[in-house]
Amino acid sequence: MPNPTRGQWATLEDPTLCAAFQRTAATFPDQVALRTVGGAVEVTWSEYAAAVQRIAGGFAAAGLTAGDVVALMLTNRPKAYGVDAAAMHLGCTPFSIYATCPVEEVAWLLEQSGAKVVATEPLFADRVLAAAAQVPGVKQVILVEGEVPRGQSAARTLADVEATPPPPGFDFEATWRAVTPQTPVTLIYTSGTTGLPKGVTHSHASILAGCRNLNAVAPVGPQGRVLSFLPMAHIAERFISHYSAMCFGYTITTVADPKAVGAALGEVRPTRLFSVPRVYEKLYGALTGAIANEADPDKRKGLEWAVDVGLRKVRAEQAGEAVTADLEAEYVKADALVLSKLRAKVGLDEVEWPSVGAAPTPYAVLEFFTAIGVPIQELWGMSEILLVTLNPPEKVKLGTVGPAMPGVGMKLADDGEVLISGPTLMLGYKDRPDLSAEAVVDGWMHTGDVGEIDADGYLRIVDRKKELIINSAGKNMAPSKIEGELKAGSTLIGQAICIGDARLYNVALLTLDPDVAAMWATRNGLDGASTAQIAADPRVQAEIAAGVERANERLARVEQIKAHHLLDAEWLPGGGELTPTNKLKRKPIEKKYAAEIESLYAIA
């Protein structure tokens, strides 16, 4: 039964996130706002608000004032939220640094941002202290837990900050009420794969506009539960958990180790879940693997029947065909007997808004989850303009990222580049008016993505403008489409990159999915084998080759992979091959694996 208060949120009319935060804390004082997996730490909204006021007072005593910048290098944890929100209430601009950044990059970010204070934890303390020592503008390093290292006079603990009385005359309420809609609320540093990172500056107004848009398309119900596991340095995590919670009163469960997301899903049973494709791909691999390897033949047959019923229903709906009464009845039966249990198995039985973005998601993954009753709503956005498009729950078109959000302008340039305008647009790149003017022309953000818009206004992203493959015959191809088909070809394939620019044909480098590979090894007498040992097994090589052939069957002849190489390495987020949000670093990969690539062209 629909909740009558779904979508009704007074906070969306507040002028700033500070005001929204305070309203939410007053409305839900005893509801848990922040917690850790397992519940060892649970912080109510009233406790959260009290901590924010204490930290803000301590910051003010240390000399922080409106307009100052506060950097955070922290894992996803309740205290990160408190420090960030406290800085925001002072009118400061908090921003997060990716956990994978080396000392040199941390120092560059501190220098470029103008940060005066850095908050961190023991895991990153050595890097942060070394970086801060290189930047005269940094006045203090704050450790949210642990002791200050000996000889670090500029460092202090968060407990000390909270215990420090605010300066005489400091009025917390007057201070946060002085924050305006156009006050910068954060910096989001772009990945820097095409040059130095740029500091995207967002205001309270742009974030609140994004929250209003989200609620308009996918109305938010009360008593929401979300997981916080993506990097807070990425706009998606900041927007979907941190800022949205201020408006919608979510209970946020923080997951410090992204590898623990699967277990956290089962405990939290989130009502709203945003993720990058990799999490859904892993769940897909686990479920399909469990079905294929079910020892009881009758049970396996029942599982396969139920999924097949779901797929037939989804395919009819996506083709615009009517679902027959017989198929609908069969689906209801399959859902009651099997599919509902599959959803519960992975903790997605109570999710009201399952969504995915930040990178292309294989169609097979989207189709499978929709078939089992988890209709993933693919979306598209950018650091510079937040959430741009979203598949509405009532009409999901798989393979598209949906129509434009309310009030967001969207059009295609002559070359197919997607141009965007609207109230969620950034203030600009910090201290780079030249780059801001280059990116935003006459109010339209030039996204760098090439797209297609169908008759219903649904957008399909073809690929990044600079990443399109143009082979030696002049044929344009989207590598992300080819890579998606490769990953869908076999659950053993974890990452795929297609090479073919200025070449006669396409080849691919592939890596194993470590989790699926480990399960395969256990089932096949190689329990405990290394990734290299599994990759070298002839049975794995044969399955990968079969997966490539399955992908080729779904690709045009010119797009097909003529040769592939299975690497014995694992590509990790933030490493040499992937950005922290799992996007391929194409040029570094091609340089690093040049020998392997050339060998493919020699044998294909």
Q: What percent of the chain has pLDDT over 90?
A: 73
CATH class of 13-275: alpha beta
Q: Is the pLDDT of residue 422 over 50?
A: yes
Neighbours of 147 (CB within 10 A): 9
Report the CATH number of the 380-419+440-465 domain: 2.30.38.10
> According to the model, what pLDDT value does residue 4 have?
37
- The SS3 assignment for 88 reads helix
Q: Is the pLDDT of residue 1 over 60?
A: no
Q: Any residues with CB less than 8 A from the CB of 571 and at least 6 apart, and which?
A: 494, 495, 511, 577, 578
Each residue of 373-398: pLDDT tens digit? Answer: 999 999 999 999 999 999 999 999 99
Q: What percent of the chain has pLDDT over 70?
A: 98
Each residue of 248-265: pLDDT tens digit? Answer: 999 999 999 888 898 899
CA distances (Å), origin 5, targets 1, 13, 249, 385, 494: 12, 16, 13, 29, 42
> According to the model, what pLDDT value does residue 192 have?
54
Q: What is the pTM of this model?
A: 0.84
Res. 360 pLDDT band, cuts 50 70 90: confident
> According to the model, what pLDDT value does residue 5 have?
67
Each residue of 513-549: pLDDT tens digit? Answer: 888 888 889 888 888 888 889 999 999 999 999 999 9
> According to the model, what pLDDT value does residue 62 have?
94
The residue ranking higher by pLDDT, 210 or 194, is 210
- The SS3 assignment for 430 reads coil
Res. 165 pLDDT band, cuts 50 70 90: very high
> According to the model, what pLDDT value does residue 522 have?
87
Q: Is the pLDDT of residue 153 over 80?
A: no
Mean pLDDT along residues 201-205: 97
DSSP one-letter code for 351: -
Per DSSP bridges, beta strands 417-421 and 444-453 are antiparallel
Q: Domain segments of the chain: what residues?
A: 13-275, 276-375, 380-419+440-465, 468-603
- As given in the structure block, the two tokens for residue 148 are 């200050």
> According to the model, what pLDDT value does residue 584 have?
86
**Cα 65 to Cα 79: distance, rounded to the nearest angstrom:** 21
**Cα 155 to Cα 140: distance, rounded to the nearest angstrom:** 6
**Cα 209 to Cα 429: distance, rounded to the nearest angstrom:** 19
Res. 408 pLDDT band, cuts 50 70 90: very high
The residue ranking higher by pLDDT, 285 or 225, is 225
The single-letter code of the amino acid at 180 is T
> According to the model, what pLDDT value does residue 506 have?
92
Architecture of domain 468-603: 2-Layer Sandwich (3.30)
Look at the block and give the residue holding tokens 């503008």.
Answer: 137
**Cα 538 to Cα 540: distance, rounded to the nearest angstrom:** 5
DSSP track, 268-280: H--SEEEE-HHHH
Q: Any residues with CB less than 8 A from the CB of 148 and at least 6 apart, and which?
A: 155, 156, 157
DSSP one-letter code for 182: T
Q: Is the pLDDT of residue 228 over 60?
A: yes
Mean pLDDT along residues 228-240: 92
- As given in the structure block, the two tokens for residue 268 are 């939290």
- As given in the structure block, the two tokens for residue 565 are 């190489």
Q: Is the pLDDT of residue 3 over 90?
A: no
Phi/psi at 181 (nearest 5 deg)? -55, -30
Q: Is the pLDDT of residue 204 over 60?
A: yes
The residue ranking higher by pLDDT, 245 or 357, is 245
Beta bridge partners of 464: 449
Q: Is the pLDDT of residue 604 over 60?
A: no
**Cα 175 to Cα 89: distance, rounded to the nearest angstrom:** 7
- Output the average pLDDT for the chain: 92
Q: Any residues with CB less than 8 A from the CB of 273 and at least 6 apart, and which?
A: 226, 227, 265, 348, 351, 353, 354, 355
Look at the block and give the residue holding tokens 């190689």.
Answer: 526
Using alpha carbons, select from 297, 298, 234, 226 the residue that is nearest to residue 255: 226
Q: Is the pLDDT of residue 462 over 60?
A: yes
Res. 270 pLDDT band, cuts 50 70 90: very high
Each residue of 106-117: pLDDT tens digit? Answer: 999 999 999 999
Using alpha carbons, select from 365, 364, 366, 372 the residue that is nearest to residue 347: 372
- The SS3 assignment for 158 reads helix
DSSP track, 16-44: SHHHHHHHHHHHSTTSEEEEETTSSSEEE
Mean pLDDT along residues 294-300: 90
Each residue of 557-567: pLDDT tens digit? Answer: 889 999 999 99
Q: Is the pLDDT of residue 46 over 90?
A: yes
Crossing angle of helices 277-292/514-523, nearest 10°? Answer: 10
> According to the model, what pLDDT value does residue 95 have?
96
The residue ranges of DSSP E strands in 110-159, in sequence order, are: 115-120, 140-143, 155-157
Using alpha carbons, select from 138, 137, 134, 141 the residue that is nearest to residue 156: 141
Q: Judge whether 202 and 225 are in contact, CB under 8 Å.
A: no
Each residue of 491-508: pLDDT tens digit? Answer: 899 999 999 988 889 999
